[in-house]
Amino acid sequence: MIIAATDTTSTALTWFTWLVSKHPIVENKIIEELESKIPVSETKRRRLFNVDEVKNLVYLHGALYEALRLYPPVPFNHKEPLKPDMLPSGHPVHPKTKVLFSVYSMGRMKSIWGEDCYEFKPERWINERGEIKHEPSYKFLSFGSGPRKCLGKETSFIQIKAVASALIYNYRIHVMEETPIIPAVSVVLHTKHGLMTRISKRWE
Protein backbone atom coordinates (compact mmCIF):
# COMPACT_ATOMS: atom_id res chain seq x y z
CA MET A 1 0.00 0.00 0.00
CA ILE A 2 2.70 2.46 1.05
CA ILE A 3 5.07 1.80 -1.85
CA ALA A 4 2.47 1.42 -4.61
CA ALA A 5 0.10 4.14 -3.48
CA THR A 6 2.02 7.16 -2.20
CA ASP A 7 4.31 8.42 -4.94
CA THR A 8 1.99 7.37 -7.77
CA THR A 9 -1.02 9.34 -6.54
CA SER A 10 1.00 12.41 -5.54
CA THR A 11 2.83 12.42 -8.88
CA ALA A 12 -0.46 12.16 -10.77
CA LEU A 13 -1.84 15.15 -8.84
CA THR A 14 1.33 17.19 -9.37
CA TRP A 15 1.24 16.86 -13.17
CA PHE A 16 -2.52 17.39 -13.20
CA THR A 17 -2.16 20.62 -11.18
CA TRP A 18 0.50 21.91 -13.55
CA LEU A 19 -1.48 21.02 -16.69
CA VAL A 20 -4.64 22.67 -15.35
CA SER A 21 -2.71 25.81 -14.40
CA LYS A 22 -1.50 26.00 -18.02
CA HIS A 23 -5.02 25.52 -19.41
CA PRO A 24 -7.43 28.08 -17.85
CA ILE A 25 -10.26 26.94 -20.13
CA VAL A 26 -9.99 23.44 -18.65
CA GLU A 27 -9.83 24.92 -15.14
CA ASN A 28 -13.07 26.88 -15.75
CA LYS A 29 -14.81 23.83 -17.19
CA ILE A 30 -13.89 21.78 -14.11
CA ILE A 31 -15.38 24.46 -11.84
CA GLU A 32 -18.48 24.72 -14.05
CA GLU A 33 -18.99 20.97 -13.83
CA LEU A 34 -18.59 20.99 -10.04
CA GLU A 35 -21.06 23.86 -9.71
CA SER A 36 -23.65 22.36 -12.03
CA LYS A 37 -23.50 18.78 -10.74
CA ILE A 38 -22.88 19.52 -7.06
CA PRO A 39 -24.74 22.76 -6.31
CA VAL A 40 -23.49 24.81 -3.39
CA SER A 41 -25.07 27.74 -1.55
CA GLU A 42 -23.49 31.20 -1.95
CA THR A 43 -22.76 31.37 1.79
CA LYS A 44 -20.87 28.07 1.88
CA ARG A 45 -18.45 28.59 -0.95
CA ARG A 46 -15.46 26.69 0.40
CA ARG A 47 -15.98 22.94 0.47
CA LEU A 48 -14.73 19.39 0.19
CA PHE A 49 -16.30 16.75 -2.05
CA ASN A 50 -17.06 13.18 -1.07
CA VAL A 51 -16.65 10.00 -3.07
CA ASP A 52 -20.32 9.80 -4.12
CA GLU A 53 -20.29 13.40 -5.28
CA VAL A 54 -17.20 13.10 -7.50
CA LYS A 55 -18.06 9.68 -8.97
CA ASN A 56 -20.07 11.06 -11.89
CA LEU A 57 -17.88 14.02 -12.84
CA VAL A 58 -17.24 13.26 -16.51
CA TYR A 59 -15.13 16.29 -17.47
CA LEU A 60 -12.90 15.98 -14.42
CA HIS A 61 -12.45 12.29 -15.25
CA GLY A 62 -11.29 13.31 -18.75
CA ALA A 63 -8.87 15.93 -17.40
CA LEU A 64 -7.32 13.46 -14.94
CA TYR A 65 -7.03 10.71 -17.56
CA GLU A 66 -5.32 13.18 -19.91
CA ALA A 67 -2.78 13.96 -17.17
CA LEU A 68 -2.24 10.23 -16.59
CA ARG A 69 -1.86 9.66 -20.35
CA LEU A 70 0.71 12.44 -20.88
CA TYR A 71 2.51 11.95 -17.55
CA PRO A 72 2.00 8.34 -16.42
CA PRO A 73 3.29 8.06 -12.82
CA VAL A 74 4.85 4.70 -13.75
CA PRO A 75 6.50 5.73 -17.05
CA PHE A 76 7.84 2.35 -18.13
CA ASN A 77 7.18 -1.28 -17.38
CA HIS A 78 8.41 -4.71 -18.41
CA LYS A 79 6.95 -8.12 -19.13
CA GLU A 80 8.35 -11.49 -20.16
CA PRO A 81 6.52 -14.41 -21.80
CA LEU A 82 5.99 -17.73 -19.98
CA LYS A 83 6.70 -19.62 -23.21
CA PRO A 84 8.33 -18.64 -26.53
CA ASP A 85 6.16 -16.03 -28.24
CA MET A 86 6.14 -13.64 -31.20
CA LEU A 87 5.53 -9.88 -31.03
CA PRO A 88 3.09 -8.36 -33.59
CA SER A 89 6.21 -6.91 -35.28
CA GLY A 90 7.43 -10.45 -35.97
CA HIS A 91 10.21 -10.38 -33.37
CA PRO A 92 10.49 -13.65 -31.45
CA VAL A 93 10.61 -13.39 -27.63
CA HIS A 94 12.30 -16.02 -25.50
CA PRO A 95 10.89 -16.72 -21.99
CA LYS A 96 14.11 -15.34 -20.49
CA THR A 97 13.82 -12.08 -22.44
CA LYS A 98 12.40 -9.02 -20.70
CA VAL A 99 10.36 -6.76 -22.96
CA LEU A 100 10.64 -3.17 -21.75
CA PHE A 101 8.04 -0.69 -22.94
CA SER A 102 7.69 3.05 -22.44
CA VAL A 103 4.21 3.95 -21.24
CA TYR A 104 5.27 7.61 -21.44
CA SER A 105 6.06 7.30 -25.17
CA MET A 106 2.95 5.25 -25.91
CA GLY A 107 0.82 8.05 -24.45
CA ARG A 108 2.33 10.40 -27.03
CA MET A 109 2.16 8.32 -30.21
CA LYS A 110 0.11 9.64 -33.15
CA SER A 111 -0.54 6.08 -34.30
CA ILE A 112 -2.27 5.37 -30.97
CA TRP A 113 -3.88 8.69 -29.93
CA GLY A 114 -4.09 10.61 -33.22
CA GLU A 115 -2.57 13.82 -34.57
CA ASP A 116 -3.50 15.77 -31.41
CA CYS A 117 -1.68 13.32 -29.12
CA TYR A 118 0.47 16.06 -27.51
CA GLU A 119 -2.55 18.18 -26.58
CA PHE A 120 -4.08 18.17 -23.11
CA LYS A 121 -7.66 17.54 -24.19
CA PRO A 122 -10.12 16.19 -21.58
CA GLU A 123 -12.77 15.90 -24.35
CA ARG A 124 -10.80 12.91 -25.68
CA TRP A 125 -12.38 10.89 -22.87
CA ILE A 126 -15.99 11.99 -23.47
CA ASN A 127 -18.24 10.35 -26.05
CA GLU A 128 -20.91 12.01 -28.20
CA ARG A 129 -23.56 11.26 -25.54
CA GLY A 130 -21.52 13.20 -22.95
CA GLU A 131 -20.50 10.04 -21.09
CA ILE A 132 -17.04 8.77 -20.13
CA LYS A 133 -15.35 7.17 -23.13
CA HIS A 134 -13.53 4.01 -22.09
CA GLU A 135 -10.30 2.96 -23.79
CA PRO A 136 -8.82 -0.55 -23.57
CA SER A 137 -6.18 -0.93 -20.83
CA TYR A 138 -3.61 -2.13 -23.41
CA LYS A 139 -4.00 1.27 -25.11
CA PHE A 140 -4.12 3.42 -21.95
CA LEU A 141 -1.39 1.68 -19.97
CA SER A 142 -0.98 4.03 -17.01
CA PHE A 143 -2.40 1.43 -14.61
CA GLY A 144 -0.96 -1.54 -16.53
CA SER A 145 -2.99 -4.27 -18.22
CA GLY A 146 -3.79 -7.95 -17.80
CA PRO A 147 -3.84 -10.10 -14.65
CA ARG A 148 -1.13 -8.03 -12.88
CA LYS A 149 -2.64 -4.62 -13.56
CA CYS A 150 -2.80 -2.07 -10.72
CA LEU A 151 -4.85 -3.32 -7.80
CA GLY A 152 -5.42 0.20 -6.56
CA LYS A 153 -6.74 1.67 -9.82
CA GLU A 154 -10.29 2.41 -8.64
CA THR A 155 -9.26 3.41 -5.09
CA SER A 156 -6.54 5.75 -6.23
CA PHE A 157 -8.61 7.32 -8.99
CA ILE A 158 -11.53 8.20 -6.73
CA GLN A 159 -9.08 9.62 -4.14
CA ILE A 160 -7.34 11.71 -6.78
CA LYS A 161 -10.70 12.91 -8.06
CA ALA A 162 -11.82 14.05 -4.59
CA VAL A 163 -8.52 15.85 -3.91
CA ALA A 164 -8.42 17.43 -7.39
CA SER A 165 -12.00 18.73 -6.98
CA ALA A 166 -11.22 20.37 -3.65
CA LEU A 167 -7.94 21.85 -4.93
CA ILE A 168 -9.34 23.36 -8.10
CA TYR A 169 -12.64 24.48 -6.59
CA ASN A 170 -11.24 26.17 -3.47
CA TYR A 171 -7.93 27.58 -4.67
CA ARG A 172 -6.30 29.49 -7.50
CA ILE A 173 -2.97 27.85 -8.18
CA HIS A 174 -0.28 29.89 -9.87
CA VAL A 175 2.75 27.82 -10.84
CA MET A 176 6.12 29.56 -10.40
CA GLU A 177 8.25 28.65 -13.37
CA GLU A 178 11.67 29.77 -12.09
CA THR A 179 12.81 26.18 -12.52
CA PRO A 180 11.71 24.16 -15.57
CA ILE A 181 8.82 21.76 -15.02
CA ILE A 182 10.32 18.61 -16.49
CA PRO A 183 10.14 14.91 -15.64
CA ALA A 184 12.90 13.26 -13.63
CA VAL A 185 14.32 10.08 -15.13
CA SER A 186 13.16 7.64 -12.49
CA VAL A 187 10.89 4.67 -11.81
CA VAL A 188 8.18 7.14 -10.77
CA LEU A 189 7.70 10.17 -13.02
CA HIS A 190 8.38 12.90 -10.46
CA THR A 191 8.80 16.51 -11.53
CA LYS A 192 12.57 16.99 -11.49
CA HIS A 193 12.49 20.25 -9.49
CA GLY A 194 9.18 19.79 -7.69
CA LEU A 195 6.31 22.18 -8.41
CA MET A 196 6.60 25.57 -6.76
CA THR A 197 3.23 27.31 -6.56
CA ARG A 198 1.57 30.42 -5.17
CA ILE A 199 -1.87 29.57 -3.84
CA SER A 200 -4.74 31.92 -3.06
CA LYS A 201 -8.34 31.34 -1.96
CA ARG A 202 -10.71 31.37 -4.92
CA TRP A 203 -13.82 32.59 -3.08
CA GLU A 204 -13.38 35.75 -1.02
**Residues making contact with ligand HEM (CB under 6 A):** 1, 4-5, 8-9, 12, 73-74, 77, 142-146, 148-152, 155-156
> Cα–Cα distances in Å, from 182 out to 15, 23, 71, 72, 191?
10, 17, 10, 13, 6
Decide: 159 and 13 in contact? Cβ < 8 Å.
no
> Rounded CA gap, 191 and 19, in Å?
12
Shortest Cβ distance from residue 54 to ligand HEM (Å)?
A: 15
Burial (CB count within 10 angstroms: exposed 0-12, middle 13-18, buried 19+), residue 31? middle
**Among residues 46 and 153, whose Cβ is nearest to ligand HEM?**
153
**Among residues 113 and 144, whose Cβ is nearest to ligand HEM?**
144
Shortest Cβ distance from residue 39 to ligand HEM (Å)?
A: 29
Q: Is 202 left (phi over 0), alpha (psi -120 to 50) or beta?
A: alpha
Shortest Cβ distance from residue 99 to ligand HEM (Å)?
A: 12
**Among residues 155 and 179, whose Cβ is nearest to ligand HEM?**
155
**Among residues 51 and 176, whose Cβ is nearest to ligand HEM?**
51
Would you list which residues are annotated within the binding site for heme? 150
Would you list which residues are annotated within the binding site? 150
